[in-house]
Structure 1
Amino acid sequence: MSKLTFGAGIWHFATYVDRYATDGYGPAKSLIEMIDLAGQVRDLSVVDINAPWSSDVSVEAVEQALARNNLSVIGITPEIYTRQFAKGAFTNPDAGVRRAANELCNDAANLVRRLGASYVKLWPGQDGWDYPFQVDHRTQWRRSIEGIAELASQNPDLKFVIEYKPREPRVHMSYSSVARTLLGIEAMGLPNVGILLDFGHALFGGESPADSAQLAIDHGRLFGMDVNDNLRSWDDDMVAGTVHPIELFEFFYTLRKNNWEGVWQLDQFPFREDCVEAADMAIDFLKHIDAALDRLDFAEMQDAQDRHDALTAQKLARKALFGV
């Protein structure tokens, strides 16, 4: 049995649409159906759930579905990126829309308490800008900081995690990098705001995910993480380890070296693949990474890194991960 805890965003089990297949890549699924699919994944024990969900599904029904599938909730992700917030959630020029975003996030906070989750996950995908001269950058950044700081101050008993991303849906997102997000969090000056580091977003942003993790850890702000994969030019949300296995190994090496403990969580979008099989495949590889970390000689790796010996470091990593 693995000593690790594995999780997934409940959207992993959804039906997807894009701007071409507007009719979706399969029949629509309810939240309850998605939870039941998550329950079929080997070793999966926690999920992140979007809110609000359909009004015809009660909280009690969600609790019952979670219980029968032996699942718990790690986070609630308020949908502050929908059409209502097309010009931004925390940065919207309309004060009434900013207030609506705050209320939606406070509703999510109440769900976190009700379901015994760990945090409210904030992905302010519409906060940002698209064109030169579109926004006043000082005002935009100030509202980004103040909006989340207000939430965290209203709910000092809960954690709030910011999932940064370079772009999409906005051309420039306010929280676009690990460094910019840390700057914003430090300006808030609150202990209950941290980062959820998405491995694929770091790749997409031209970052080294291991370096990003170390930076967030050094500031005491790595509250959570998601893993997936992509081709670096877009947030493809592919199965973890299928494209960048060695960088994924370095990412988890960094977490192990720093004694970071938390859920190993999937943020994948299997548009055309079987969602249960895609989750099982990813978790199997994550378990392989964990075993490879047990095999890796950390002292030898540190010695190679102290000498900036790239080839020795690569040989050590490849032998532990691939056996060659």
Structure 2
Amino acid sequence: MLKLAIITGFLSQTKDRFHEYNTPLSVDEKFRMLSEIPGYNGVEIVYPYEVNDVQATRESLKKYDLRVAAVNVNVKAEPEFRNGGLTSPDPAIREKAVRLIKESKDFAAEIGADKVTCCPLGDGYEFAFQYDYAASWKNLIDTFSEAGDYRRDIPLFIEYKPSETRGRCFIDTAAKALCLLNDMKIEEMGVTLDFGHSMYGNENPAEAVALLQASPYRYYIHINDNDGRWDWDYFCGTKHFIDYVEFLYYLKKYDYTDFFTSDTSPTRWDIRGTFEANSRMTQKIWNLFEAVDTNELEKLMGAGDYLETWKFVESNFLGLK
């Protein structure tokens, strides 16, 4: 069975610009709900706004027999981070952002997590001549280096995203995330690859997996789907089914064994049903690779006649016998 987790904020009330969805729940109530959804035993929890009490968090994890896929540290919600935290021209603001990441590593160690993930959504720009790009890149190197070097036993993973909350995020592709890690040269770091971020950022998520696999850094996976124009966080396979199959194919090929964490927002749909769909779809596709002749698939890919490869896809992945 795959290791499946949920970002627990999506198990409670969420909101967009116009509506609120579902009802607020405590951390303990969210953990209980997750434990009742088939296929899941992992949580990704947000520090410090969702969780910050070590003892209470440990007790809830033990009560529901849950593992921590990652601690997600939020460095965008504070008022002073509106114009960027890790890249702010103000050293005091950058210092606060780094301190939050360090604190999240301490928290992760206390509750038994093996990683911290950070998506620096406040760090980016909207307009020409708004920022000095070289200075901002240097600030990213300096701040993430300080945070990554602290407690190397808890690796820091950087999640990239094309946009939000900024019109364009500084770290917006897998390649740029790797450029940053290569500039930092800290082995105990990694990249969080979100299928939807990759898709609407005009990447091929499967190719991004191959790129990360070829690097010296670890990677961690978020699963969802969208329409390629915005990060809607739909459930898996609803918009890009074949792309998702290829994505999972490469993860299986490279023996990915970490959590598949649902970064999916139920909004108008039943919470349990939405996450059951993610689990069901992902596990069925993963199992399918055991039943099909992937050696034959690789031969067809190597032969270069895509019409023949597509016949294989039709019959084996689409069930069109």
For normalisation by structure 1, the TM-score amounts to 0.94
- Please tell me the residue identity of whatever aligns with 1:78: V
Q: Do the aligned partners of 1:293 and 1:320 also contact (CA within 8 Å) in 2?
A: no
Q: What is the match of residue 43 of structure 1?
A: 39
Deviation by residue 1:128-169 (Cα, 9 ceiling, x = unmatched): 111110100100111112111111112222211111011111
SS in 2 for 1:44: coil
Deviation by residue 1:169-217 (Cα, 9 ceiling, x = unmatched): 1111011001111111100011011111101011011011000110011
- Please tell me the residue identity of whatever aligns with 1:226: H
Q: Do the aligned partners of 2:156 and 2:188 also contact (CA within 8 Å) in 1?
A: yes
* C-alpha RMSD of the superposition: 1.5
- Please tell me the residue identity of whatever aligns with 1:190: I
Q: What is the match of residue 145 of structure 2?
A: 149
Distance in 1, Cα, partners of 2:75 & 2:195: 22
Distance in 1, Cα, partners of 2:32 & 2:49: 16
User: Percentage identity across aligned positions?
Assistant: 26
The offset of 1:234, in angstroms, is 0.2
Q: What is the match of residue 252 of structure 2?
A: 256
Moved more, 256-265 or 313-322: 313-322
Q: Do the aligned partners of 1:196 and 1:226 also contact (CA within 8 Å) in 2?
A: yes
Q: What is the match of residue 290 of structure 2?
A: 294
Distance in 1, Cα, partners of 2:227 & 2:291: 28
Distance in 2, Cα, partners of 1:309 & 1:87: 50
Distance in 2, Cα, partners of 1:282 & 1:134: 40
Q: What is the match of residue 65 of structure 2?
A: 70
1:10 corresponds, among 8, 11, 14, to 8
Q: Do the aligned partners of 2:69 and 2:261 also contact (CA within 8 Å) in 1?
A: no
Deviation by residue 1:84-108 (Cα, 9 ceiling, x = unmatched): 2111121012211111111111111
Report the number of matched residues: 319
Q: Extract unaligned runs of 5+ from structure 1.
A: none
Distance in 2, Cα, partners of 1:267 & 1:71: 17
The offset of 1:59, in angstroms, is 2.5
Q: What is the match of residue 107 of structure 2?
A: 111
Deviation by residue 1:33-89 (Cα, 9 ceiling, x = unmatched): 22121111111011110011368x733222222222221112111110114211112
SS in 2 for 1:242: coil
Q: Extract unaligned runs of 5+ from structure 2.
A: none
SS in 2 for 1:196: strand
For normalisation by structure 2, the TM-score amounts to 0.95
Q: Do the aligned partners of 1:204 and 1:235 also contact (CA within 8 Å) in 2?
A: yes
The offset of 1:7, in angstroms, is 1.0
Please list, as runs of the form range in 1=range in 2, the aligned pairs for 1:1-324 lying within 5 A after superposition: 2=1, 4-21=2-19, 24-53=20-49, 58-84=53-79, 85-324=81-320
Deviation by residue 1:9-39 (Cα, 9 ceiling, x = unmatched): 1122121111112xx2233222222212111
SS in 1 for 2:273: helix
Distance in 2, Cα, partners of 1:107 & 1:171: 28
The offset of 1:221, in angstroms, is 2.3
